[in-house]
Structure 1
């Protein structure tokens, strides 16, 4: 198995283990300081994966594979969406174990839904920028286009996904009104047409 794939899987498992440990320390053990320290360790996993990808390509002389590009996009995703994921899990954990309010669900219709989709796409845009920068820097460090062709191909992939997401969700919802009809029907109540 590819060392980068192992690194990605280890980082994903590590993310959830550190997150669970941090939230468990906060809500079950009431150790807020330990919880904060554990949750601050989450970005260290990203740095470890970045170091592994860089080491493998720059210092180990490996030729970039699909996994190297996936690792760069994974880094972009965790930076762009990680805080939101942590907040959502934290809200669920607080509700379940500490009597917190029920987690707020994303809006399903109307202008709030449109705003939400634009925010989510903004996160995807940040993911694409981060992944592209990481890939670009590594390509420059390696300095051998034959060894980094697969890695550089990921820039096009991540921007294609970002473009499809843009057209399919925030732009489409903005043009169509974001489900205003569904929101109006829900507000009309039963028996009203």
Structure 2
């Protein structure tokens, strides 16, 4: 595994460590400012990954799946970051501190709308990632060294399209609540 692949793993771990420490500081230690600071550090992880990937490619490395995945990771982290933190915040507050409201289970049109909003976030992540991939391809300016990046871009384009189709199906065939026995 190359340095970028290891950095993706390290960044994912660091992201969740910052989230957990931020929530623990906020709810267990009652340190709002410290909690906010720790939560605010999670985007720094993306910056470190972007710099690592760019420097590796700039120094002449041939692009790999990991380099493309780094762009995907950054796009997803930016587009979904706030909602992932809100998701973790609600669950931490409810399950750990025994406060707040339980997570909502959605069905029918409510589920379809929620899933479609998630698809819009996915589209935003894709657009951010596509800009990063395009920027890396432009920076390297050698098709033989950027083939993996182009492949990630094409694959992700198909995945975003499939996700849209899935989203539409929830409006046609709404998710139903399981019958109680």
Shared fold (TM-score greater than 0.5)? yes
SS at match of 1:146: coil
Partner Cα separation in structure 1 for residue 20 and residue 165 of structure 2 = 35
1:86 is matched with which residue?
85
Q: Of 152, 158, 169, which aligns to 1:172?
A: 169
Deviation of 1:106 (Å): 4.1
Assess, with a 3 A threshold, how the Cα gap between structure 1 residues 113 and 80 changes in structure 2: closer, same or farther: same
2:68 is matched with which residue?
69
Is the contact made by 1:106 and 1:116 (CA closer than 8 Å) also made in structure 2? Answer: no
Q: TM-score, normalised by structure 2?
A: 0.93
1:3 matches 2:3: yes
Q: Of 111, 114, 117, which aligns to 1:113?
A: 111
2:102 is matched with which residue?
103
Rg bigger for which structure?
Answer: 1
Unaligned 5+ segments in structure 2 are: none
Is the contact made by 2:46 and 2:74 (CA closer than 8 Å) also made in structure 1? Answer: yes
2:153 is matched with which residue?
155
2:13 is matched with which residue?
13
SS at match of 2:144: helix
Unaligned 5+ segments in structure 1 are: none
1:124 is matched with which residue?
122
Q: How many residues align?
A: 181
1:36 matches 2:36: yes
Partner Cα separation in structure 1 for residue 150 and residue 12 of structure 2 = 23
RMSD: 1.8
Is the contact made by 1:8 and 1:71 (CA closer than 8 Å) also made in structure 2? Answer: yes
